[in-house]
């Protein structure tokens, strides 16, 4: 009897629940004078709605679409603002180090007579997959090893690192890359450690 009553209640009130949900959704996405804007409502077909919802949430809310190039541009913007705040921004320029056969572009280079006096490179190492963290970090380890001694003094290079926030395989990959970077002779610091970046830039 209870089961029959439950089914009856669902059939009776389901239309009201649907109407309420539709009204609520319409209210949420209607145009209004705020900084939050919604595009036109669209429909997506999915075999697994729950999985698709997670994918859309990761893309639009967690911003999975943001590439490492985009992320590093944001980091560079933050460092650039800091350098100008401490009145040394004009001393640092984007520069290509190396020769015609092999060269690497760094965003912040304070040039000296023969070698750079100071080099700062913001590096994004918070990719969603540990493999991506290893690959991106290894590329810069190779570049430093290729250039150091002849074209730059590794001890005058600072990598400002952005890593994953949670523990696990991604953090392990980040920590290993940071250790390998330091093994080349460069300095590393968290990208949000403005005191250390300032100290390096001024000395």
Residues 118 and 191 in one domain: yes
SS3 68: helix
Residues 142 and 162 in one domain: yes
pLDDT over 80 (residue 36): no
Residues 110 and 142 in one domain: yes
Mean pLDDT across 109-120? 93
Look at residue 197 in the predicted model and tell me its pLDDT: 98
Residues 84 and 129 in one domain: yes
Q: How far apart are CA 155 and CA 182, in angstroms?
A: 9
SS3 103: strand
Domain range enclosing 33: 2-60
Residues 77 and 173 in one domain: yes
Mean pLDDT across 173-201? 97
Look at residue 37 in the predicted model and tell me its pLDDT: 61
50-94 pLDDT tens trace: 887 777 776 666 555 556 678 889 999 999 999 999 999 999 999
User: Over the chain, what is the mean pLDDT?
Assistant: 85
Mean pLDDT across 156-171? 93
Output the CA angle 179-172-146, nearest 5 degrees: 35
Residues 23 and 103 in one domain: no
Structure tokens at 87: 């009145």
pTM of the model: 0.69
Q: Where does the pLDDT of residue 13 fall: very low under 50, low under 70, confident under 90, or very high at 90 and above?
A: low
Residues 162 and 77 in one domain: yes
Task: Please give the tally of structural domains in the chain.
Answer: 2
Output the CA angle 59-61-65, nearest 5 degrees: 30
Residues 44 and 112 in one domain: no
Residues 41 and 73 in one domain: no
Residues 23 and 95 in one domain: no
Question: Is the CB of residue 122 less than 8 Å from the CB of residue 191?
Answer: yes
Q: Where does the pLDDT of residue 145 fall: very low under 50, low under 70, confident under 90, or very high at 90 and above?
A: very high
Q: Give 72 or 8, the one with higher predicted confidence.
A: 72
For the chain, the first-to-last Cα distance in angstroms comes to 82
Q: What is the CATH number of the domain that holds 94?
A: 3.40.1350
Mean pLDDT across 156-167? 93
């Amino acid at each position: 009897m209870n089961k029959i009553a439950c089914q009856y209640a669902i059939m009776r009130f389901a239309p009201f629940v649907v109407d309420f949900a539709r009204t609520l959704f319409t209210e949420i996405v209607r145009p209004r004078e705020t900084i939050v804007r919604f595009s036109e409502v669209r429909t997506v077909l999915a075999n697994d709605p729950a999985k698709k919802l997670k994918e859309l949430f990761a893309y639009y809310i967690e911003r999975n679409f943001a590439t490492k190039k985009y992320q590093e541009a944001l980091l560079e913007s933050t460092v650039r603002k800091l350098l100008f705040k401490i009145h040394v921004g004009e001393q640092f320029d984007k520069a290509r180090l190396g020769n015609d056969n092999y060269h690497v572009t760094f965003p912040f280079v304070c040039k000296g007579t023969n070698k750079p006096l100071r080099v700062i490179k913001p590096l994004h190492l918070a990719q969603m997959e540990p493999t991506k963290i290893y690959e991106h970090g290894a590329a810069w380890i190779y570049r430093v090893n290729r250039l150091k001694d002849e074209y730059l003094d590794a001890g005058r290079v600072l990598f400002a690192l952005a890593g994953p926030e949670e523990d696990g395989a991604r953090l392990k990959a980040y920590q290993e890359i940071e250790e390998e970077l330091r093994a080349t002779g460069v300095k590393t610091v968290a990208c949000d450690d403005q005191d250390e970046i300032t100290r390096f830039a001024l000395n």
